[in-house]
A and B are shown apart, each in its own frame.
Chain A
Amino acid sequence: MDVRVQMSMVFHLDKCIGCHTCSLACKNIWTDRKGTEYMWWNNVETKPGTGYPTGWEDQEKYHGGWELKDGKLGLRSTSKTQTVFNIFHNPNQPSMDDYYEPWTYDYQNLFNAPEGSDQPTAVPLSMVTGDLIQIKAGPNWDDDMGGSPVYAESDPNLAALNPDQKAQMFAIERLMFFYLPRICNHCLNPSCVASCPSGALHKRGEDGIVLVDQKRCRGWRACIAACPYKKMYYNWQTGKSEKCVLCYPRLETGQAPACFHSCVGRIRYLGVILYDADRIHEVASLPEDQLIEGQRSLILDPRDPVVIAGARQNGIHDAVVEAACKSPTYRFVKDWKMALPLHAEFRTLPMLFYVPPMAPVMAHKSETALENNSEDLFADIEEARAPIEYLASMFGTKHTGKVRYALRKQKAVRWYRRAITVGDVDMPTAERMLREADCTPAEAEAIYRLTSLCSFEERFVIPPMHREQAIEMLEDPLEHKQGVGFGFMDGPRRGL
């Protein structure tokens, strides 16, 4: 057993209101520089929808992530041989057209336009060339476009549905959508790291954050094709790749990452987990239907004396183990099994987990009151507007079991709390639901508390980062605002 630490996240999709505050908080801190305008290290997508970059989930198009070839784990398009031969031109690298061309507006014209009979306008200007452009796409161009034949119907996950289910999803008055906020998953088996020809991409041993060493990066771009989540971005100005850094300078000073901190719906949870690094390869090579269970089994119990001894042996500070015991991620993923990885079939072992969304609630058979006298108390999960197969395509490697379990538990907790606070559900029914959802009253209370009443300290359990022992102690991350962005002390001036 090789015990390591991973900073791990949970996004509770049932709480996301799609306000994009997270995206803007991130952009203001990290990607307000030339060459990064098009990057959204944090973005919020509407599902069903095509996402950003367009259709990123479709690996038949982008060829990212890992796959099993004859039982052997290998990168889909960025193996060493492929990378060497594709180094001059990578056929699987998305171009700016797959994202969007960033633009600003000619605001100066509003002040400087000569006097005339028309109101002056601010025309859109490309942030790459400075030319007048026609805006054709943006980072959340399909925002709220559930039901749209252009966007929603092109969602790669719809392939998992039969024609009836698909028709149901797009029927008038049954349209549905939900939001999917995405950041780097800081995977345990990152394909970007494995593909990097320069060895610039690496995982920090101390907290598992995946970073690009900007000085070592040579712009070979294999990572961009390799990341199946398309969370590696190419800075066209500096000729280097960049990615979400999980606001590590903030974490090192005990603050939550900007997107977590600013989250209006309080959907985000952050905490360390301990995992067994010796089993990464074994778990990533499991058959598809065992991947999620395998990934859960990688996560170790921080209260287990054997694990604690292993952690000490690897130089993990006791304070970190203590933080792992309080980790909300551990509770959602391991204790309650409500949070699931996004597209585990990419085999990168993502460390960002999602609680699948319950919404929207179905209108019930009875017009005036909620029906709860059905023998199957969870009927509306099966009959929900979002077919469970659709959610399973994202969160269950196309197997519905884990998603159903998470949704049933959410519903049982709701009804249990409803029995206590509203009283229109009788307690025996609520308790029967808890039993059927594999939950106890105590667990339901804990889930309720961490979902609804969670304080800042409960949502973000950040261990002391021991900055006194860490690198870059004397560097001020704000010194080069709009200049460097992150990493080092001299300006990121482009080479000739």
Chain B
Amino acid sequence: MSNLSTYFNALFFIALPYAALVLFFLIGIRRYLRRGFTYSSLSSQFLENKQHFWALMPFHYGIITVLTVHIAAFLIPRQVEWWGRVPARLWFMEIGMLAAGLLTLAGLVAAMVRRKVNRKIAVVTSAADWIILVLLLLQIVSGLGVAILHPWGSSWFSIAVTPYLWSIVKLDPNIALVAVMPALVKYHIINAFLIIAFFPFTRLVHILVMPNPYLWRRPQVVRWYRRPQAARG
């Protein structure tokens, strides 16, 4: 392995991930504490209601499906690998993920067109929105490319990528397995870390404040400002 590619691998698969994670947590938490007001979905449905449906619904449902399987392969790699041992199940997974990826792509392109075409939406579109949209577009296109050119990802991800990701988490980076990956896969990983690095500067932070206590609370919320307890049903 040449010096240059060693340097390249260390930069993009060790330095970049840690830089991304530090930014993600440091900026994310700082922004929550200091400028918590800015944590919002920043929905633009109010300004434009029709294209919104055809862009946002496919994008969100698509990306949630794709991300869930990625996270599953990271958290429970053995089970995901086991699932792929039967060809029918593997095919189901491959086709399902490809379809979800295409759904995401269609939604994202529609969202970008909507932001470009609609004057009202342009008013509430920032530079950060465009940067993250382009990063997401590159991520989805490269992901679809991987799915088509290097299939059976649901199986090799669990074996090759998951150990690398865990080595990052365990502060003992081992890039031997990713260093030999095809260029497109490498790009997909690098772009993913770029998105994580940029995440806390963008509207993506709304993912961090997804509602959940809501699902179990009582319908009415009462706050007593003069009593020690914060809330009483």
Contacts and interface: CB of A to CB of B under 8 A. Distances in A.
B225 A204 contact: yes
Interface in B49-74: 49, 52-53, 56-57, 59-61
A315 interface: yes
Contact of A470 (B124, B209, B215, B226): B226
A8 B213 CA distance: 30
From A218, A470, A488, name the one whose CB has the most chain B CB atoms within 10 angstroms. Answer: A218
A303 interface: no
Contact of A189 (B38, B57, B203, B220): B220
A262 interface: no
A496 B129 contact: yes
Interface in A177-212: 189-190, 193-194, 196-199, 201-206
A96 B47 contact: yes
B47 A236 contact: yes
Nearest to A214: B37
Interface residues of B, number: 52
Interface in A89-117: 89-91, 93, 95-97
A465 B220 CA distance: 23
Interface stretch (A237-245, A330-338, A356-364): A237-245
B40 A90 contact: no
A196 B211 CA distance: 9
B37 A492 contact: yes
Contacts of B225: 204-206, 470-471
A470 to B, nearest CB: 6
Contact of B41 (A80, A129, A220, A496): A220
B201 to A, nearest CB: 6
B219 interface: yes
Interface in A214-230: 214-215, 217-221, 224
B37 A196 contact: no
A193 B214 contact: no
Nearest to B122: A129
B206 interface: yes
Nearest to B208: A218
A70 interface: no
Interface string B17-49: 000000000000000000111111111111111
Interface residues of A, number: 56
B46 A95 contact: yes
B124 A236 contact: yes
B170 interface: no
B203 A129 contact: no
Contacts of B232: 205
Given A95-B47, A131-B119, A466-B226, A203 B220 contact: yes
Given A95-B49, A205-B223, A490-B37, A198 B211 contact: yes
From A88, A95, A470, name the one whose CB has the most chain B CB atoms within 10 angstroms. Answer: A88
B222 A89 contact: no
B233 to A, nearest CB: 9
A313 to B, nearest CB: 13
B38 A495 contact: yes
B43 A197 contact: no
B209 A95 contact: no
B85 interface: no
Contact of B56 (A88, A201, A315, A494): A88
A334 to B, nearest CB: 23
B120 A129 contact: yes
B209 to A, nearest CB: 5
Contacts of B231: 202
Given A129-B120, A470-B225, A236 B37 contact: no
Contacts of A203: 220-223
B174 interface: no
B38 A89 contact: no
Contacts of A201: 221
Nearest to B229: A205
Contacts of B39: 218, 495
From A91, A193, A219, name the one whose CB has the most chain B CB atoms within 10 angstroms. Answer: A219
Contacts of A206: 224-226
19 contacts: A80-B215, A89-B45, A89-B53, A93-B46, A96-B46, A129-B122, A201-B221, A202-B221, A205-B222, A217-B40, A218-B209, A218-B211, A219-B40, A236-B47, A239-B41, A490-B35, A495-B205, A496-B126, A496-B203
Given A128-B47, A129-B119, 11 more contacts: A87-B211, A95-B48, A128-B120, A198-B211, A203-B223, A204-B225, A219-B41, A236-B46, A470-B225, A495-B38, A495-B40
Closest 7 pairs (CB-CB, A-B): A495-B38, A197-B211, A205-B224, A194-B219, A496-B128, A239-B40, A239-B42
Interface of B: 35-49, 52-53, 56-57, 59-61, 119-120, 122-124, 126, 128-129, 201-203, 205-206, 209, 211, 213-215, 217, 219-227, 231-232
